Amino acid sequence: MQEDFDEQMMRRAIELARNATGRTSPNPLVGAVVVKEGRIVAEGWHRQAGTPHAEVHALNMAGELAKGATVYVSLEPCAHYGRTGPCAKALVEAGVSRVVIAMTDPNPKVAGKGIQILREAGVEVVTGVLKKEAYELNEVFLKWITTGKPFVALKTAMSLDGKIATAGGESQWITNEKSRYQGHRLRDIYDGILVGINTVLQDNPSLTTRLREYQGQNPVRIVLDSQARLPLDSKLATDGAARTIVAVSAQAPATRKAALEAAGLEVLVAGTDKVDVVELMNQLGAMRITSILVEGGGRVNFSLLEAGLVDRVYAFVAPKLIGGSQALTPVEGEGFAQLAQAVELENIQTSLLDNDVMITGRVRRPECE
């Protein structure tokens, strides 16, 4: 059946798009497959922002075989001139006869215009094939392009009884090496990594990506630091390993802010007496930081959950029991007063990492149900 074949080819396009996970920001992940007479003749995916889009790679590979072919694309072809030309026009000029699209692009510069260009040129267009899978593929881009805020993922490592440190503050290492390595893979695909000032004062972290099999990329380092207390001799201020942003309040001493800037750090003011995380996310989104991995403590985590800013959770759970009423937990602060207010996850996935378990899921948005 044609519908089954269309889904098979679209699944391949989505698979191709995943090859560039973490490398296309602020652009979406897109894959394309060219099919002629029932067989794949060319494939392509968008590799990096500013480089040719998936459709162009696939059309270049197909050459003359593109004439009369069907092209499967995981996102509506663009219709505007940016750093590259409009893919919808490239498809028309290549002489394709049919284009199958997983989902329309909510980017106002596209938003149906690519489909319109194709149909006006007499190209048959089919939409909505594996739409749900295509949405999940581009959850980061879709959050940023529709709200202006980054996609926020909260990552935590804890014991089986929900402790992120002992009562005495010891936390290295609760989870095993494989879990920690997976955490570095997450750092490699998110634009930014966010912690609170207490994490910096206690651990002096580098917040860089350390992978064995390939050279990872370091995320932008972001510190919530209302009073600009970040030590000038900390790794974040001295190693030069990555762009570092310190978010402060309007009440932070001017001398401390100036000292941070003199050390080469960027200072953002968001909020009056403490950092306003909603205002901060708006600023970061305007800076084209489209995704953030949060590795903060319980208070930072709760502030973001309470503000409704968290989109995904990664929980690494070790089969250990630590105990202690004073031992820290992943989410602290005041907490939610009623179970009905609790943050609930959906689309849950689990992975076994030796004896540790990683659980991840999207935050359920009641307004979307």
Tell me the residue type at 61: M
Report the alpha-carbon distance of residue 365 to residue 369 in Å, rounded. 7
Return the active site residues.
Answer: 55
Q: Give the chain's largest Cα–Cα span.
A: 70
Using alpha carbons, list the distances in angstroms from residue 248 to 72, 97, 230, 233, 283.
Answer: 46, 55, 10, 18, 13
Considering only CA atoms, which of 165, 128, 184, 155 is closest in space to residue 314? 155
Relative to beta strand 70-73, strand 31-36 is antiparallel
Residues whose CB is less than 8 angstroms from the CB of residue 322 and which lie 6 or more positions away in sequence, other chains included: 159, 161, 163, 166, 174
Report the alpha-carbon distance of residue 27 to residue 32 in Å, rounded. 15
Alpha helices (H) in 207-253, listed in sequence order: 235-238
Considering only CA atoms, which of 103, 145, 109 is closest in space to residue 128? 103
Helix (H) or strand (E) holding 300: helix 298-306
Considering only CA atoms, which of 116, 130, 37 is closest in space to residue 78? 116
- Contact call for residues 164 and 174 (beta carbons, < 8 A): yes
- Contact call for residues 38 and 66 (beta carbons, < 8 A): no
For residue 232, count other CB atoms closer than 10 A to its CB: 13
289 phi/psi in degrees, rounded to 5: -90, 105
Residues whose CB is less than 8 angstroms from the CB of residue 135 and which lie 6 or more positions away in sequence, other chains included: 103, 142
Please tell me the total number of residues recorded for the chain in this structure: 369
